[in-house]
Amino acid sequence: MKKVLYIILFYSLILSITGCVSKSDQPDPGAMGLMSVATVEVTPLKIQKIAQKIDLSATLKGYETKNIAPSVSGNIEHIYVDIGSRINPGDTLVRMDQNQYKTTKLAYTNLSIEYERIRELYETETVSQQTYDQTELSYKQTKENLSFLTQNTFVKADMPGVITAKNYEDGELFSGNPILTLTQIRHLKAIISIPETYFPLVEEGMKLNIRSDIYPEQTFPAIIEIVYPIIDEATHTFKARLKIPNQAELLRPGMFIRTTLELGEINAFMVPYQSVLRLTGSNERYVFINETGVARRISVSLGQRYDEMVEIVSDKLTSGDLLVTVGQEKLIDGMKMNVVE
């Protein structure tokens, strides 16, 4: 019995000693992380003058494209052009079924005679005002209808260009889809997307050159014709339309082109590209600076990149801040650092 009693007393003593150890005496894993020290290298931030150049790309389009689709139904009597035909303003492109046109033309001829007769009688006060007004109204309506039918029966071009599509043949029934497509190619256009940062610097009338891989030794002049007034909230870019003279017709719609937009010089922070980190699962970029031996995380936006250097933008950075350039991938905000010269 004494032996059993001694065993019970021994285990009671052990439990009482263990219970005296408080939770505050246990090491805090979080605190242990903050107490750890990372060895890093730093570089003072300096403002540099850099030339603002943005490399952009786009696809060329005809400066103006028109689908030839008359506003009358019926059969297509004749198409005067084919794909590739060169067109001048006033050239006849299509002749539609003429039955409605001929009927209206005959009615207009008869009404013209009747109108002249009634007008002469009205001037001699032989017919009433009402008869004259009704005849005049009918005459003018028929005249407008004939003009409409003339334009839509004998379809003419109202701009120069090249026929780039033909969707019908002679004698087919016009179903509403364009009969032809006329594209202006002696002037071209392209839409470029520019980062929103540069919105205040881009103006209509700015000149630039475009390049095509098809003509690696040549550049082609262009001008910014329109700056679109809104920013795309999804891409944070805005659009600008280029106008490109193409009298020699070396360039064609559909070609891929590149251009460089030069926007003068600015003062900027240029840092090694590897010093900028990206938050996992997002496009947020950040750097670390040395704040009296403690790492401070600063969110930044990226600007232009030159080889291994990149422009960073943040209103929380000033010239002279010590940027962590080696060891930054091991840091967390508030972590102590051992700075090596």
Report the pLDDT value the prediction gives residue 12, as an integer from 0 to 100.
52
Q: In the prediction, which pLDDT does 35 show?
A: 53
Pair 108, 195: CB distance under 8 Å: no
For residues 59-69, average pLDDT: 96
Distances (CA, A) of 72 to 180, 200, 291: 15, 48, 77
What is the per-residue pLDDT for 236? 87
pLDDT-based confidence at residue 1 (cuts at 50, 70, 90): very low
DSSP structure class, residue 235: T
SS3 105: helix
Arithmetic mean of pLDDT over the chain: 88
Reading the block at residue 86, the tokens are 């060169």
To which residue do tokens 């805090």 refer? 28
**Structure-block tokens of residue 306:** 């030159």
What is the C-alpha to C-alpha distance for residues 35 and 17, in angstroms, rounded to an integer?
29
- Is residue 26 scored above 50 in pLDDT? no
User: In terms of DSSP bridges, do strands 37-44 and 336-340 run parallel, antiparallel, or are they unpaired?
Assistant: parallel
Instruction: Give the separation between CA 143 and CA 119, rounded to whole angstroms.
Output: 16
| Mean of pLDDT values over 167-175 | 95
pLDDT in tens, 8-20: 444 454 444 444 4
pTM summary value: 0.65
Residue 270: how many CA atoms within 13 Å on its side-chain side? 14
- First-to-last alpha carbon distance for the chain, in angstroms, is 73
Q: What is the pLDDT of residue 263?
A: 84
Cβ 227 vs Cβ 238: under 8 Å:
yes
Three-state secondary-structure class, residue 126: coil
pLDDT for residue 99: 95
When pLDDT is averaged across residues 42-47 and rounded to a whole number, the result is: 92
Pair 204, 219: CB distance under 8 Å: no
Calculate what percentage of the chain has a pLDDT beyond 70: 89
Token representation of residue 70: 């008359």
For residue 283, what pLDDT is reported?
83
Helix, strand, coil share of the chain (percent; to 5): 25, 45, 30
pLDDT in tens, 105-139: 999 999 999 999 998 898 888 889 999 999 999 99
Instruction: Summarize pLDDT for 176-202 with one digit per residue, the tens.
Output: 899 999 999 999 999 999 988 889 889
Q: What is the pLDDT of residue 123?
A: 86
32-36, 88-92, 213-217, 250-254: segment of lowest average pLDDT = 32-36
Q: Taking a C-beta distance cutoff of 8 angstroms, is the pair 67, 178 a contact?
A: yes
Query: Rounded to an integer, what distance in angstroms lies between the CA atom of residue 135 and that of residue 143?
Result: 12
What tokens does 173 get?
């029934």
Listed residue (48, 95, 34, 89) closest to 66, CA to CA: 89
Task: State residue 21's pLDDT score.
Answer: 39
Phi, psi dihedral angles at 247 (to 5 degrees): -60, -35
Q: Where are the alpha helices (DSSP H) in the chain?
A: 2-19, 29-35, 99-123, 129-153
